């Protein structure tokens, strides 16, 4: 009998929903016009793009005109940070972020640092959380922007975005959150968060890759990153990725329908795997906050094992997990997130991330538990430490 594979890397990307694939195929066949064309073919494409914008806005609980489509979370993060700083016209030159952010934020902030802006990179506690009072202390008269993620992609740790947003609002500083790992995954309303800018990505929520969005609260001033055209209210010019946008909109609709039921079902699987790992395998520690955590993510360190070796061992058995962020997989060294929460190099390198999604089943946990303890045992026997 062929081995059934188990996909537990949903924080890296998700399998596109069949409904999404169907909606994209349909729009490629029927409504393939340029949304900027004024004839009927273009007008139909425009109707479909605006419908999709409405679906994104409904899931975020904002107005459709506050949604700017981008090529994904990375571009949305870049647009938020560089767009705000450039808008400041040299008067407000300081940006605050944290050490556990995704590279889409950290590398952009480092670029700012190398190009004349001032930056503060806050440290986090050992559970990966950030104290809002630390954010308050870091604010200066020149602070233009605070950018802090909603859910950490490696640990699943959830920051208190509403409270940090309140601090930012009180100080009159623009607040951006990278919500790529929260949007469509945990229920929230942008209205409750005191945020000005929110990054989202389609491929984390069963939509296609290469499309995402930035929420720009009405009245937030932002410079564009692209020039040449007037699409997306001049903020992201260039002909729209119509099939991608339609797929993203459809993915949002499907998430909306499942927003109450999906997180508990996913969490039950994650919690069962965590419990069984801790009961069956010795010397395992769970990384990040267990209380403030996204329902699908489990990050643990297996003392005496190389995370990469565990990953390869599981891969050979058709079980797909990650040692950290997919965007940095293959690069040497330990995860900057695990190091930032204070793990030693050895413990950080002994870590695996399991991330559950909509299509996982209880049998997936059974299969991991059939295979994982044996691999850990074998690696520990071979390990010199």
Q: Are 205 and 11 in contact (CB under 8 A)?
A: no
Q: Is 293 in the site for ligand PLP (CB under 6 A)?
A: no
Residues 106-165 that bind ligand PLP (CB under 6 A): 149, 153
Question: In terms of CB distance, is 185 or 262 closer to ligand PLP?
Answer: 185
Give yes or no: 252 in active site. Answer: no
d(CA 121, CA 92) in angstroms, rounded, equals 17
Out of 6, 96, 104, 173, the only residue in the binding site for ligand PLP (CB under 6 A) is 104
Work out how close the CB of 371 gets to ligand PLP at its nearest, in angstroms, rounded to a whole number.
26
| Residue at shortest CB range from ligand PLP | 73
Q: Is 308:323 a contact under the CB 8 Å cutoff?
A: yes
The window from 139-147, 174-182, 315-323, 366-374 that contacts ligand PLP (CB under 6 A) reads 174-182
Instruction: Work out whether 178 is an interface residue with ligand PLP (CB under 6 A).
Output: yes
User: Counting contacts by CB under 6 A, is residue 367 touching ligand PLP?
Assistant: no
Q: In the block, which residue shows the tokens 């169907």? A: 22
H or E segment and range at residue 242: helix 242-258
Q: Exactly one of 62, 112, 252, 327 is catalytic; name it.
A: 327
Question: Judged by CB under 6 A, does residue 327 bind ligand PLP?
Answer: yes
Q: What is the closest distance, in whole angstroms, from the C-beta atom of residue 250 to ligand PLP in the complex? A: 17
Q: Give the residue with the Cβ less far from ligand PLP, 139 or 235.
A: 235
Long-range contacts, 106-112 (Cβ 8 Å, 24+)? 106/336, 108/77, 108/78, 108/81, 108/82, 109/81, 109/147, 112/81, 112/82, 112/85
Least CB distance to ligand PLP at residue 102 (A):
4
User: Per CB under 6 A, which region of 110-118, 175-183, 294-302, 335-343 contacts ligand PLP?
Assistant: 175-183
CB 200 → ligand PLP: shortest distance, Å?
8
Instruction: Tell me whether residue 286 or residue 327 sits nearer to ligand PLP (CB atom).
Output: 327
List the interface residues with ligand PLP, window 211-230 (CB under 6 A): 212
Q: Are the C-beta atoms of residues 200 and 33 closer than 8 Å to each other?
A: no
Query: Residue 4 has what DSSP assignment?
Result: P
Q: Kindly report the backbone phi and psi dihedral angles of residue 171, in degrees, each rounded to the nearest multiple of 5, phi listed first.
A: -90, -5
Pairing verdict, β 143-147 and 67-70:
unpaired
Q: By CB under 6 A, what part of segment 183-202 binds ligand PLP?
A: 201
> Where are the strands (E) in the chain, listed by range?
6-7, 67-70, 94-98, 118-122, 143-147, 174-178, 197-201, 212-216, 284-286, 297-302, 319-320, 351-355
Q: Residue 141, Cβ neighbours under 10 Å: how many?
A: 7
Task: Identify the sign of the CA torsion 136, 140, 141, 146.
Answer: negative
Residue 180 C-beta: closest distance to ligand PLP, Å: 4
Give whichever of 73 and 307 is closer to ligand PLP, judged by the CB atom: 73
Q: How far is the CB of 209 from ligand PLP (least distance, A)?
A: 7
Span of 73-81, 186-194, 251-259, 261-269 interacting with ligand PLP by CB under 6 A:
73-81
Half-sphere exposure of 266 (CA within 13 A, CB side): 23
| Closest listed residue to residue 159, CA positions, set 206, 122, 204, 108 | 122
Query: Which positions are annotated as active-site residues?
Result: 327
The residues of the shown chain that bind ligand PLP, judged by CB under 6 A, are: 72-74, 77, 102, 104, 149, 153, 178, 180-181, 201, 212, 325, 327
């Amino acid at each position: 009998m062929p081995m059934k594979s188990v996909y537990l890397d949903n924080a890296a990307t998700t399998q596109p929903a069949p409904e999404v694939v169907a909606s994209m195929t349909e729009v490629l066949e029927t409504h393939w016009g340029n949304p900027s064309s004024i004839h009927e073919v273009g007008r139909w494409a425009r109707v479909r793009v605006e419908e999709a914008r409405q679906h994104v806005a409904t899931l975020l609980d904002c107005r459709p005109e506050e949604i700017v489509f981008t090529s994904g979370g990375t571009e949305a993060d870049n647009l938020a940070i560089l767009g705000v700083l450039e808008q400041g016209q040299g008067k407000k030159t300081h940006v605050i972020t944290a050490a556990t952010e995704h590279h889409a934020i950290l590398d952009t902030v480092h670029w700012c640092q190398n190009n004349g802006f001032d930056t503060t990179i806050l440290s986090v506690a050992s559970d990966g959380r950030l104290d809002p009072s630390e954010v308050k202390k870091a604010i200066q008269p020149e602070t233009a922007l605070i950018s802090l993620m909603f859910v950490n992609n490696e640990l699943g740790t959830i920051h208190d975005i509403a409270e940090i947003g309140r601090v930012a609002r009180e100080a009159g500083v623009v607040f951006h959150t990278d919500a790529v790992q929260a949007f469509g995954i945990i229920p929230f309303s942008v209205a409750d968060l005191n945020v000005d800018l929110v990054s989202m990505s389609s491929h984390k929520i069963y939509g296609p890759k290469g499309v995402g969005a930035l929420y720009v609260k009405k009245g937030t001033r932002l410079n564009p990153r692209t020039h040449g055209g007037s699409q997306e209210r001049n903020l992201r010019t260039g002909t729209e990725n119509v099939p991608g946008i339609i797929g993203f909109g459809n993915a949002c609709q499907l998430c909306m329908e499942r927003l109450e039921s999906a997180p508990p079902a996913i969490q039950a699987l994650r919690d069962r795997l965590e419990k069984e790992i801790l009961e069956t395998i010795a010397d395992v520690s769970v990384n990040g906050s267990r209380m403030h955590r996204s329902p699908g993510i489990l990050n643990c360190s297996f003392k005496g094992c190389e995370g990469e070796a565990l990953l390869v061992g599981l891969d050979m058995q058709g079980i797909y997990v990650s040692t950290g962020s997919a965007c940095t997989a293959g690069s040497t060294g330990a995860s900057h997130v695990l190091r930032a929460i204070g793990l030693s190099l050895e413990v950080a390198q002994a870590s695996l991330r399991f991330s559950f999604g909509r299509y996982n089943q209880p049998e997936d946990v059974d299969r991991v538990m059939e295979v994982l303890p044996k691999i850990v045992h074998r690696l520990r026997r071979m390990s010199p430490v």
